[in-house]
């Protein structure tokens, strides 16, 4: 097929993209398709590689209100609530909710998700369910799973054994939660053990790390250290890292180069961080998100994740990575032109780097996955949370949405006014 007249995220307009055997075969203003070949007319709108969510919890998604609502809206009540829900879970319900969320994701042009899956339930029901979901969605969505010991790999009985069982079953990435272990020392020990496990098995690492307001939480330092020591550079992610917002500035000036040296990836989760952190503060009240512009300036790859949608921790969300980018932009005050553009990268190319996705992007040879947005640029896409006019997987259109329009009948104005964003 031929995609005609697209604007690309780098600003090039009037581009035609030829797809052969599910991959981009040629891109440029002169490219032509064969006669009678199917054509998707992009009509000048923005064609982007699909959205990628670098941090999600698909085992909990769409469970809002089960078995009860989080009354305080806090992280700790959310964790307690998840503990109440876990024994009530069934594999069928987990699969059904996850598949429903994947449908939402595809409709929003979100075609790759890294999801943590809790391994602390001795039945490993959620692991079984999400492994099934990973296979079922494979034709249209890349689902990468992280073995996540929600209750602490050292704190919860048998958690390490269960985490290893989950990896044996086919879970892709080693997770952790050092700040939730009983002591700072146990947290550091958990980072060591989990990084060594990943190195032994040749796997990537993605830890919930320093997800607190504690300025003295130092687990990301351990994560960078063991990444270097074990030769895991470029394969390890620190997720949340919220304590960095409160750390001493001198200490951070030492930490950032260590993170860059270890080629750590950082994932901020703006919707969740802004609502769950700073909850013990009166005023001034901290924003609770990690230091995104400073991490980027230090050369660290930073992505944004959705983290939660309608679950014990967050009652909102719709699988819309443009909402995530928009919140990240606001919380980090990233309003310079280049910074707004960087927020779009945080939910596309940077997130793809976190997952280690191969053949991602609008380049010749890459799989022809893309989203056509009713916007003229990445910044406008964020501003409007633009309509996903079409979503493509391997060159096939797998979702379409009608353009956003409105018909206005205004007092004192006899004619009907049709609003539609003009190119
Ligand atoms: Fe998370």
Three-state SS string across 268-309, please?
A: ECHHHHHHHCCCCCCCCCCCCCCCHHHHHHCCCEEEECCECC
Beta bridge partners of 372: 47, 390
Alpha carbons 365 and 22: distance in angstroms, whole number = 9
Centre of ligand 1 to C-alpha 383, Å, is 26
| Spans of all domains in the chain | 2-49+361-407, 51-355
For residue 358, count CB atoms less than 10 angstroms from its CB and return exposed for 0-12, middle for 13-18, buried for 19 or more.
exposed
Centre of ligand 1 to C-alpha 305, Å, is 9
> What tens-digit pLDDT sequence spans the chain (423 residues)?
999 999 999 999 999 999 999 999 999 999 998 888 999 999 999 999 999 999 999 999 999 999 899 998 888 898 889 889 988 999 999 999 999 999 999 999 999 999 999 999 999 999 999 999 999 999 999 999 999 999 999 999 999 999 999 999 999 999 999 999 999 999 999 999 999 999 999 999 999 999 999 999 999 999 999 999 999 999 999 999 999 999 999 999 999 999 999 999 999 999 999 999 999 999 999 999 999 999 999 999 999 999 999 999 999 999 999 999 999 999 999 999 999 999 999 999 999 999 999 999 999 999 999 999 999 999 999 999 999 999 999 999 999 999 998 888 888 887 777 777 655
Centre of ligand 1 to C-alpha 181, Å, is 16
Helix (H) / strand (E) element for 114: namely strand 110-118
User: Which residues contact residue 416 at a Cβ distance below 8 angstroms, ignoring those fewer than 6 apart?
Assistant: 407, 408, 409
Centre of ligand 1 to C-alpha 208, Å, is 6
DSSP 25-82: EEEETT--PPTT--EEE-TT-EEEPPEEEEEE-TTTTT-TTSSS--SS--HHHHHHHH
Please state the separation of Cα 386 from the chain's center in Å: 18
Centre of ligand 1 to C-alpha 52, Å, is 15
DSSP 8-state code for residue 244: G
Active-site residue set:
211
Centre of ligand 1 to C-alpha 115, Å, is 9
Sheet of strand 173-176, all strands in order from the earlier edge strand to the far edge: 51-56, 110-118, 142-148, 173-176, 204-209, 236-240, 265-268, 301-304
Alpha carbons 159 and 149: distance in angstroms, whole number = 6
Q: Which homologous superfamily does the CATH classification assign to the domain defined by 51-355?
A: Metal-dependent hydrolases (3.20.20.140)
Q: Of the candidates 100, 103, 92, 3, which has an alpha carbon nearest to the alpha carbon of residue 47?
A: 3
DSSP 395-418: TEEEEE-PPPEEEE--TT--S-EE
Centre of ligand 1 to C-alpha 310, Å, is 13
CATH of the domain spanning 2-49+361-407, picked from 3.30.70.20, 1.10.3090.10, 2.40.30.30, 2.30.40.10: 2.30.40.10
């Amino acid at each position: 097929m031929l995609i005609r007249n697209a604007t690309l995220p780098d600003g090039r307009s009037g581009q035609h993209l030829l797809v052969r055997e599910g991959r981009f075969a040629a891109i440029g203003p002169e490219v032509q398709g064969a006669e009678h070949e199917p054509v998707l007319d992009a009509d000048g709108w923005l064609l982007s590689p699909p959205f990628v969510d670098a941090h999600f919890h698909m085992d909990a998604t769409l469970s809002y209100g089960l078995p009860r609502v989080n009354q305080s809206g806090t992280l700790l009540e959310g964790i307690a609530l998840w503990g109440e829900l876990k024994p009530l879970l069934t594999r069928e319900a987990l699969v059904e909710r996850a598949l429903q969320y994947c449908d939402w994701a595809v409709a929003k042009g979100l075609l790759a998700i890294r999801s943590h899956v809790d391994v602390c339930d001795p039945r490993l029901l959620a692991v079984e369910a999400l492994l099934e979901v990973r296979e079922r969605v494979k034709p249209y969505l890349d689902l990468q799973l992280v073995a996540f010991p929600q209750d602490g790999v050292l704190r919860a009985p048998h958690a390490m054994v269960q985490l290893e069982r989950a990896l044996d079953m086919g879970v892709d990435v080693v997770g952790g939660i050092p700040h939730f272990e009983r002591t700072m020392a146990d947290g550091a020990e958990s980072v060591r053990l989990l990084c060594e496990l990943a190195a032994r098995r040749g796997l990537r690492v993605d830890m919930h790390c320093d997800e607190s307001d504690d300025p003295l939480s130092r687990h990301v330092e351990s994560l960078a250290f063991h990444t270097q020591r074990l030769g895991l550079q470029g394969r390890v992610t620190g997720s949340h890292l919220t304590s960095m917002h409160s750390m001493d500035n001198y200490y951070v000036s030492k930490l950032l180069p260590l993170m860059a040296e270890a080629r750590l990836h950082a994932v901020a989760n703006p919707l969740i961080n802004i609502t769950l952190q700073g909850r013990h503060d009166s005023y001034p009240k901290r924003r609770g998100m990690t230091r995104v512009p400073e991490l980027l300036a230090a050369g660290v790859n930073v992505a944004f994740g959705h983290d939660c949608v309608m679950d014990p921790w967050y009652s909102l969300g719709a699988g819309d990575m443009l909402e995530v980018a928009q919140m990240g932009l606001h919380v980090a005050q990233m309003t310079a032109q280049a910074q707004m553009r960087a927020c779009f990268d945080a939910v596309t190319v940077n997130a793809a780097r976190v997952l280690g996705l191969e053949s991602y992007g609008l380049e010749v040879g890459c799989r022809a996955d893309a989203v056509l947005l009713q916007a003229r640029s990445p910044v406008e896409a964020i501003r409007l949370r633009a309509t996903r006019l079409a979503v493509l997987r391997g060159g096939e259109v797998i979702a379409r949405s009608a353009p956003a329009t409105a018909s206005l009948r205004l007092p004192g104005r006899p004619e009907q006014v049709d609003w539609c964003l003009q190119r």
